[in-house]
Amino acid sequence: MCGRYTTLTPAAGLAKRFGATLAEPTEPNYNAAPSQRLPIIINAAPDTIQLVQWGLIPGWVQDLKKAVKPINARAETLADKPSFRQLLQRKRCLVLADSFYEWQQTPQGKVPHRIMLRDEQPFAFAGLWDEWLDRQTGEVLPTFTIITTEPNELMARLHTRMPVLLPGPEAEQAWLADTLSPADHQHLLVPYPTDGMMEYAVTTRVNSPAHNDAEVLEAA
C-alpha cells in the first residue's frame, strides 16, 4: 500500500517538471497523509496542478460520514469493481511526489523506510479521482486515491504492495490521455524497475503525521 509520501520539490520545480501551472500555492510536505490536500493533475485539466484531498469519496456516496474513503486502489481489480472501473475510464490523475514511505515488518517491530528514484527527481503515482456533491450546501469535494500493484524486487523486501510510479513524462501523458482504451491504461499499472529506485530506513518520527519537517527524512 501507500499511506505516506513527500512533496518537497518547490512549486516552480513541479510546474517545470510536469508542464503545468499551479492553481494555488503549495508548501513542502515531508509527511503527506490521508485527508490532506495534495498536488495532483487530473485528466480533465492536464495543464493545471490542483490541491485535492487524499482519500477517495466517489460521487455516488450518499452518507459522507459512513464513506470508506480508500487511499489506495489495487491495479489488478480496478476493472472488477464498478466504482473504480468507471473512474479508470473517465477520471485518472497524476499524484505528484518525490519519495514515499513504507513500513517493514521485523521481529523488533515495524521499521519505516523512505523510497525514492535514484536520481531523486519528482515523479507521479498513477491515481484516480472523483467529485462528491453535498446536496445540502452545493459544495463540490474533489478527492483522489493512489493505485498500487505488486512489488518490484526492492519493495518486496519491505512490503507485499507498492504504489504505481509512472516511468516518466510519456507514461504520465498516456495515463491522462482520454484517447486510450481502459486496457491500454491498465497496461501502465506495473511495478517500477528496481534499478531505478533506492531506499533507506528512517526514524519512527515519521509514524505521526503531526511530524512534518525535515527531521523525518533523517536515516535511522
The catalytic residue positions are: 2, 102
Task: Let me know: does 128 contact 143? Beta carbons within 8 Å.
Answer: no
CB-facing half-sphere around the CA of 199: CA atoms within 13 A: 23
Q: H or E element: which one contains 104?
A: strand 99-106
Report the run of H or E that residue 183 belongs to, with start and end: helix 182-186
Nearest to 30 by CA among 199, 216, 208, 165: 216
What does the block give as the cell for 207? 509514524
**DSSP-based three-state secondary structure for 118:** coil
